[in-house]
């Protein structure tokens, strides 16, 4: 049975997609069977996996509204050996259409149940909002991975996310836990980042992943080649950090 993880943070541009794509590639490199679900109408995880979002016959949108099955829409990420359930702008409409459908927050969970035995990991890249799409992700998942930059406002945003996760846990998905907080785009030369990192460790203890992802330009360049950073330049500091993170995840979920 696949373990399902949401990569979520309602703040924009904090490294969710970069984390989702590189974790998928890292886990695939560890011989794990991985499905990456792009749950963001921006389609960044789709493009970053080398799948052309403009040419999709069907996508996660059709899956959510019940017009297609996951296994008919998933496509291989050729460079890295995982599958992608792709997304594009169509998904923006799902937000409105889902409102009128039955069990609107459980559509993704129900769809993924059909492929649970085909994968070891299913990773869900969420959009930057606590929307119905993100709620579908949180209801489908066993755990949440929260990438965050160590900046002042990051801590404030975190309390909204933690509250939402608590509510989903209490009302909709008793399985849901925070797996961990991942410090990304980290620059140790900046005193403020070091201070926020210390505060995170103080408040969240071992919920903070040991691995720290550094700011690294190779990770930012990779998507324009349709490649995860791990495949684009495996020797870069960013790629090595994500590979280390993949190994830490595998260890951490053994304890779940
Ligand atoms: P959105 O909220 O829009 O979905 P996101 O949270 O998914 O954004 P990303 O798209 O992963 O964030 O990252 C935002 C930008 O920062 C991208 O241009 C990405 O290439 C860059 N980036 C992410 N991680 C790093 C890193 N460790 N070092 C340098 N650049 C990074
Ligand atoms: Mg994103």
Domain range summary for the chain, segments of one domain joined by +: 3-139+216-254
Can you tell me the mean pLDDT for 55-64? 95
Identify which of 8, 12, 15, 145 to mutate to test ligand 1's pocket (most ligand atoms within 8 A of the CB).
15
What is the fold, at CATH topology level, of the domain defined by 3-139+216-254? Rossmann fold (3.40.50)
Could you please report the per-residue DSSP string of the chain?
--EEEEE--SSTTSSHHHHHHHHHHHHHHTT--EEEEE--TT-HHHHHTT--GGG-SS-HHHHHTTSS-HHHH-EEETTTTEEEE---THHHHHHHHGGGSTTTTSHHHHHHHTTTTT-SEEEEE--SSSSHHHHHHHHH-SEEEEEE--SHHHHHHHHHHHHHHHHHHHHT-TT-EEEEEEEEEE-TT-HHHHHHHHHHHHHHGGGEEEEEEEP-HHHHHGGGGT--HHHH-TTSHHHHHHHHHHHHHHHHHHT-
pLDDT at 80: 97
Residue of 156 and 25 predicted with greater confidence: 25
- Residue 253's pLDDT is 84
At residue 68, the pLDDT reads 97
Tell me the pLDDT of the chain averaged across its residues: 95
What average pLDDT score do residues 22-45 get?
97
- The pLDDT, as a whole number, for residue 255 is 77
| CA-proximal residue: ligand 1, atom 11 (nearest) | 15
- From the CA of 110, how far away is ligand 2's center (Å)? 23
Averaged over 192-221, what is the pLDDT?
Answer: 96
Do the beta carbons of residue 21 and residue 36 sit within 8 Å?
Answer: yes
- Minimum-distance ligand 1 atom for the alpha carbon of 215: 28
Residue 102 has pLDDT above 90, yes or no: no
Kindly report the protein residue whose alpha carbon is nearest to atom 31 of ligand 1: 220
Which ligand 1 atom sits nearest the alpha carbon of residue 128?
Answer: 2
| pLDDT for the residue numbered 42 | 97
pLDDT at residue 95, as a whole number:
86
User: For 232-250, what is each residue's pLDDT tens digit?
Assistant: 999 999 999 999 999 999 9
Q: Is there an atom of ligand 1 within 6 Å of 219 CB?
A: yes
Output the CA torsion 42→13→148→155 (10° steps): -110
Q: How far is the CA of 99 from the centre of ligand 1 (A)?
A: 30
pLDDT band at 122 (very low <50, low <70, confident <90, very high): very high
2-29: average pLDDT = 97
pLDDT-derived band at 101 (thresholds 50, 70, 90) equals confident
Which residue's alpha carbon is at the smallest distance from atom 14 of ligand 1?
13
């Amino acid at each position: 049975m696949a373990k399902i993880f949401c990569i979520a943070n309602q703040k924009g541009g904090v490294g969710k997609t970069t984390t989702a794509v590189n974790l998928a590639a890292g886990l695939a490199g560890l011989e794990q069977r991985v499905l990456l679900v792009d749950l963001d109408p921006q389609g960044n995880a789709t493009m970053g996996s080398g799948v052309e979002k403009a040419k999709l016959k069907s996508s996660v949108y059709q899956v959510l509204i019940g017009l297609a099955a996951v296994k008919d829409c998933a496509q291989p990420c050729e460079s890295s050996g995982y599958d992608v359930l792709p997304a594009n702008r169509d998904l923006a409409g799902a937000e409105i259409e889902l409102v009128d459908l039955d069990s609107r927050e459980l559509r993704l969970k129900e769809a993924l149940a059909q492929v649970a035995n085909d994968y070891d990991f299913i990773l869900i890249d969420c959009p930057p909002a606590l929307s119905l799409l993100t709620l579908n992700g949180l209801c489908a998942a066993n755990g949440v991975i929260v990438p965050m930059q160590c900046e002042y406002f990051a801590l404030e945003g975190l309390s909204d996310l933690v509250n939402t996760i608590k509510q989903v846990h209490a009302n909709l998905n008793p399985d849901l836990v925070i797996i961990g907080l991942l410090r990304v785009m980290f620059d140790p030369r900046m005193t403020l980042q070091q201070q926020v990192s210390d505060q995170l460790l103080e408040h969240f203890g071992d919920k903070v992943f040991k691995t720290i992802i550094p700011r690294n330009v190779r990770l930012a360049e990779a998507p324009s080649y349709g490649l995860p950073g791990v495949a684009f330049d495996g020797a870069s500091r960013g790629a090595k950090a994500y590979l280390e993170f993949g190994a830490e995840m595998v260890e951490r979920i053994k304890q779940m």
